[in-house]
Amino acid sequence: MGLLCLGRRALTAFALGTLLVVCVAAGASTARSESSERGPSPAAQVAVGKCSTSMLSVWIEKPEGNGALGSRYFYVQFTNLSGRACTLRGAPGVSAVSLSGGRLGAPAAHAAIHGPTQLLGSHATVSSLLKIAVPGVFPSCHPRLAAGLRIYPPNQRTSKVVPLPVQTCPQPFMFVSEVQPSKQVEYP
């Protein structure tokens, strides 16, 4: 009888131990899942390098109903085509340019605050909101037509020119936000 009780106790202990291992494993799996939904840890972001201009496709998206109270709005999109992850943080540099590439008017202003670093996996896209004031808002503006925008990805010294005819003014007439998460671009 004592041996039978010892057997039941051992079996109970074994069952409880197995249950504990299964619960711990399930908790670890859930923790990994929740961690991946929040994004990579700051340590993981440090291990990934900054996105260089050559790694990115830069393009402009014009949202529906993009005009309001003397301004037009656009999204400056940055898509990582390098095949490896990289990061962007801050606001891009934006200025209007002529056909020959010369700057027209003042470059875009941006806030001095810095948001979180954005991690771009392969084919991931982030965007900045670009506000362009309509030249009629400035009474002293003598508008000139620009052929496009010269865009410097955040913290980069090389740029890309994106065709976008816009009216420019000598005084500041553009504002650009920091990069923020964007929808994924679907490729055919």
Separation in Å, CA 125 to CA 26, 92, 160: 33, 14, 16
- β-pairing verdict for 160-168 and 144-152: antiparallel
pTM above 0.85, yes or no: no
Q: How confident is the model over 140-174, as pLDDT tens digits?
A: 888 899 999 999 999 999 999 999 999 988 888 89
Higher-scoring residue by pLDDT: 27, 90: 90
DSSP 91-159: PPEEEEE-TTS-EESPPPB--S---PPEEE-TT-EEEEEEEEE-GGGSTT---EEEEEEEEEPTT-S--
Higher-scoring residue by pLDDT: 10, 63: 63
As a whole number of angstroms, the distance between CA 9 and CA 113 comes to 63
Q: How confident is the model over 66-86, as pLDDT tens digits?
A: 667 788 999 999 999 999 999
Radius of gyration of the chain (CA): 26
Q: Please, what sign has the CA dihedral across residues 157, 161, 162, 165?
A: positive
% of the chain beyond a pLDDT of 90: 51
Token digits for 179? 């990069």
Answer CATH for 53-181 from 3.30.70, 2.60.40, 1.10.760, 1.20.1070: 2.60.40
Tell me if 56 sits within 8 A of 81, measured CB to CB.
Answer: yes
As a whole number of angstroms, the distance between CA 108 and CA 160 comes to 15
